[in-house]
Structure formats: C-alpha cells, structure tokens
Amino acid sequence: MTRIDDTFARLRAERRKAFVAYIMGGDPDVETSLAVMKGLPGAGVDIIELGVPFTDPMADGPTIQAAGQRALAGGQTLDKTLDMVRAFREGDTTTPIVLMGYYNPIYHRGVARFLEDARRAGVDGLIVVDLPPEEDDELCLPAQAAGLNFIRLATPTTDDKRLPKVLSNTSGFVYYVSVTGITGAASAQAADVGPEVARIKAATDLPVVVGFGISAPDTAREIAAVADGAVVGSAIVKLIGEGRPVDEVLRFVAALADGAHAA
C-alpha cells in the first residue's frame, strides 16, 4: 500500500472525492514553489502532482509550458525537484506526491538511480506521459518493483481495444484526460466525461480522476461528481505565473478543493 492507495481508501471511507493539484517544480523559483507546495494540504489538496520541467513538454499547453521555461531559466533541475520533495517531507509524511513529466530527464539520470533517489526523497508515484504501455519494461515495471505507483493516462481516443493495454500495469489511479489536446486548451464537460469514466471503471478497480479543462470550483464539483476526483493544474499555475502572492494562490486552491469535495 502506498500513500496514494491509503489516501483513496480514506476518501472512500469518508465518502468524499479526491482533489489533486498540479504545480511546476521551481516556478518561478524554488522558494515560491516550495511555499505553495507546503500550503497545498492545508488548502484541501489530497494528492500533489509536482511537475518536473522539461524543454519539450508535448502534452502541456502554453500556461504550463511557460511555467517550465520559467523554472528552467531559474536553474531548476531534477535534483532540485527531488530536493523540494525532501523539504516537503520534513513537515508532511502523509500527503502523496506524484512526479509528472517526461522520460528524457529520467533516462539521462539512469532509471535505477532515479527510482532509488525518488523513493528516498518521498515520491509516491510517477506520471510519465511519453512512455506508452509498449515501453513498460523501460520504467513502469521497475517503478512498481521499487514501490512507486505508475499512473497512466486514458483519453477520449482510448477505445475499448486499447483500454486493456493502458490499464495493464497502471497502479494508484487512472488519470482520465477530459479533452482531446493539451492542458488548458478546453473546458471539461461532465456530460461527456461521465460515460467515459464509467467505461473505464467497468474495466478496473482503480480510482479514476479527471484532469485537463478544470479551472473553477463549480467545474471541479461537476467533474468530481462523475469520477473519483478532479485534477487542476493550469488554472493554479496561471496565478503563480502572474506573480500572485502565495496566500492568494492557496485561497484559490482551497475554493477548488471545496468544489471537488462537495461532489
């Protein structure tokens, strides 16, 4: 059982949906992003997705791409992102942390070394969007052997023939991408998402959380009502990119969390 498994078990017992928040590590600097990160659990966040900046973020829209560029320009690295996890764990040993990013920095570091460092730092799961199931031997299976959840994305184009392959080695939860395209590109619609979540849940016992296209408390509530939780990233990152104070960012996160938890 990982922290992610424990969190969903607790939420099920409480009959509540999960709220997952994404921030980019090192955006606009380590001090600010770590302050936001440390404040997320108090704002109602159940699981933290921490982005690892990369120069070619193919799944990310302009808002998160800009966040990655700010972080890289400020000197953020994979090492510094893991340092953020260590610093967070000094005061919080229960909130799950999922690293979200791309395979290149992990490959460059070496899979075995990365997994050991991530586990020791306090990482609970990985979302690596450019590794398909056909490449599970590369990172997915070693990650699970090391005790980390490997979370896979399902999308509106994941048909019934493809879905079993996507789910085959997924653990922790399934991340359903509510729109076709990049992050922040469109608004999620519960009427479209609900049947897709039901289709996925018919094929797995894992929780299904929905991300992409959620930017307001009402939308978080509507989407969480038809899934096991909601993920918000771009809307939070946008405020950080505008230079809003940390407490203002966290108030916005709290409103989103309240929306998801009200489902």
* pLDDT the model gives residue 61: 86
- The DSSP secondary-structure symbol of 219 reads H
* pLDDT the model gives residue 183: 53
Q: What is the CATH number of domain 3-257?
A: 3.20.20.70
Catalytic site includes residue 31 = no
The one catalytic residue among 5, 27, 46, 60: 60
Please state the domain extents for the chain.
Answer: 3-257
- pLDDT < 70 positions in the chain: 180-186
Residue-wise DSSP of 144-200 = HHTT-EE--EE-TT--TTTHHHHHTT--S-EEEE-SSSSTTSS---HHHHHHHHHHH
Q: Is the pTM above the cut of 0.75?
A: yes
* pLDDT tens digits, one per residue of 14-52: 999 999 999 999 999 999 999 999 999 999 999 999 999
* pLDDT the model gives residue 180: 63
Catalytic site includes residue 124 = no
The one catalytic residue among 5, 27, 49, 222: 49
Each as own residue / partner, the long-range contacts of residues 162-169 (CB below 8 Å, 24 or more positions apart, any chain) are 163/199, 163/200, 163/203, 164/203, 165/133, 165/134, 166/133, 167/200, 167/203, 167/204, 167/206, 168/133, 168/136, 169/133, 169/136, 169/140, 169/141, 169/144
